[in-house]
A and B are shown apart, each in its own frame.
Chain A
């Protein structure tokens, strides 16, 4: 197997995530697209670790997972807080950050 294959897959997943971020307006689905992009980045890190025969890439991917978990917690609670005030999770509706 050529390492480029894995990196192509990673690039494809990242691109789909980025396009979804631009296309969708539901805040939760946009968030899932961010998760997809983070996963694509992790796949690249794991592939690089194997390419160079060192585990540093895997350590970085591990830290990325921790940061992603934090990001999900805070982001979802922000979505819930916004939903509570305006009963909607559509990002087009919340262009004003006031009550």
Chain B
């Protein structure tokens, strides 16, 4: 076993385990982490196959930007929204696994039958450097495709803006209107008390003490206070 075979088996195992993790993890965050590990393993495999530039791009674009975007959307949607793994269509899981097995068997049999011969190797093509060789290809023969990708990227950015945009249904309130709204029904004129004022601790979950020693409930954020207030406070 030479060095490349060792690298292949180690990284291939990591990639496959990560891929299974994407499918099998109950929480979407675990899926995202598994996908990131698969992508990093693939990046190293690319670099080992003479595609150094693609390996770097894989880390920067995929594990950096794309996975970050995935995690952002997961945070927006709710990290702990675990999907119920129960079947809604009876027999769907078995059917899907069977279809996957059949598809994989077909694909692998096709590769086994079709691929003959070894690697020619990229030593000659990478003679002037991998980046230089790729640049020559992209900026001469594939220049039109490269220009089109710029149009595609701009369209995607515009599309994301249009899709994520929400129409404002009512005009924005001015400061004057907000002040009137606040004081019309005799609201509190001063700012809310800080948490922990005159209390034994000044943590954010400690209620401030009023002059008579009782707790000022409004000093602690409702999110921290939770649905039931701790009696010890």
Contact = CB atoms under 8 A, between A and B. Distances in A.
A contact residues, range:
35 or more
A28 B73 CA distance: 8
B222 interface: no
B35 A32 contact: yes
> Main SS of chain A's interface residues?
helix
B68 to A, nearest CB: 10
Given A9-B12, A35-B35, A62-B57, A17 B81 contact: no
A17 B100 CA distance: 9
A14 B105 CA distance: 12
Contact of A4 (B92, B100, B112): B112
A73 B157 contact: yes
A70 interface: yes
Contacts of B66: 35, 68-69, 72
Contact of B120 (A35, A53, A65): A53
> Main SS of chain B's interface residues?
helix
Interface residues of B, number: 83
B49 A22 contact: no
B74 interface: yes
Contacts of B138: 59, 62
Interface string A31-68: 11101100100110011011111111011011101111
Contact of B28 (A26, A46, A68): A26
Nearest to B133: A55
A54 B105 CA distance: 29
Given A49-B50, A73-B69, 7 more contacts: A4-B115, A29-B83, A55-B126, A55-B137, A59-B138, A70-B152, A80-B76
